[in-house]
Amino acid sequence: MKSLAASVLASAPEPHIPGPADFNLPPIVGSGDWALTKVSLLVILSAVIAFVLFYAMSRKAAVVPSRMQFVGEYVYGFVRNGIARDTIGSQDFMKFVPFLFTIFLFILVNNFYGIIPFVQFPTMSHIGYTAALALLTWLIYNIVGIAKHGFFGYLKHQTVPAGISGPILLMLVPLEFFSNIIVRPFTLALRLFATMFAGHLLLALFSIGGAWLILHYSPAALGVTTGVLSFIIGIAVSFLDMLVMFLQAYVFTLLSAMYIGQAIADEH
């Protein structure tokens, strides 16, 4: 019996172990750096989806909102009041609402691709896209900070804490410069990328592993049992991943608002 099980396992194909290589999808059109891949196509599609969706929600705006208008107003109000106004302040927040609303919705759509059947790929698991969004945020909060305080005034604002003087500034100024000017875009990009990458990898592991256990593991009863359990855990993880997808869009937008608010604040 043992020899039979061993021979069955020996003849079974090796299970595919999900890894970083699975995120490098083949091109659909073209080749090289300018090839159109599934990931780039989804990113373009997400911008179209966001535009069409909110155009439809606002096209027939009424005092008594329809269901679609209510959802659109709720999401907009959440970003406007819950993120922008509470973080930046009631005096200056409105000019940044379009940017914050756009990145929140854009990241949310791209994250939720990871749980849509037949798509199932969160595009923010590619660090190039999160890096581009983080760089955009970095440029905006530095530009508005320089516009308000002047170049050298902004450097002082970001590197010299209020009420601090003396020799301790020799240590604090480089640390504040490194933290506020250099590190922020990296942490902003890596946080979103890492959670989307890990979540997708985990779902792939449970689904591919479950399928292999059911189809190829011997004894079959144990393989089917553990395979079904793997699928159940994968479903549970997918629900948890949905929460993480929303939270990461929220956290990215919230931190962007915080950095803008700090840049234009009167005191560091």
Q: What is the pLDDT of residue 13?
A: 66
Distance CA 111, CA 69 (A): 23
Distance CA 145, CA 122 (A): 33
Please say if the pLDDT value at position 4 is more than 70.
no
Please say if the pLDDT value at position 54 is more than 90.
no
| Percent of the chain's residues with pLDDT above 90 | 31
Q: Between these two residues, 182 and 168, which has the higher pLDDT value?
A: 182
Q: What is the pLDDT of residue 1?
A: 39
Please say if the pLDDT value at position 9 is more than 50.
no
Tens digits of per-residue pLDDT, 89-105? Answer: 888 889 999 999 999 99
- Both tokens of 123, joined, read 């595009």
Q: What mean pLDDT is predicted for residues 108-126?
A: 88
pLDDT band at 12 (very low <50, low <70, confident <90, very high): low
Q: Between these two residues, 96 and 9, which has the higher pLDDT value?
A: 96
Tens digits of per-residue pLDDT, 198-243? Answer: 888 888 888 888 888 888 777 788 878 888 898 898 888 888 889 9
| Percent of the chain's residues with pLDDT above 70 | 90
- The mean predicted confidence, pLDDT, of the chain is 84
Distance of CA 54 to CAs 242, 254, 264, Å?
22, 21, 30
Distance CA 179, CA 127 (A): 21
Q: Between these two residues, 158 and 61, which has the higher pLDDT value?
A: 158
Q: What mean pLDDT is predicted for residues 118-146?
A: 92
Distance CA 197, CA 125 (A): 4
pLDDT band at 67 (very low <50, low <70, confident <90, very high): confident
Q: What is the pLDDT of residue 32?
A: 66
CA nearest 120: which of 192, 47, 25, 27? 25
Q: pTM of the full predicted structure?
A: 0.85
Q: What is the pLDDT of residue 266?
A: 76
Q: What is the pLDDT of residue 3?
A: 46
Distance CA 141, CA 158 (A): 11
> Prior bond to 122 cis, omega within 30?
no
Q: What is the pLDDT of residue 250?
A: 95
Q: What is the pLDDT of residue 220?
A: 80
Q: What is the pLDDT of residue 8?
A: 44
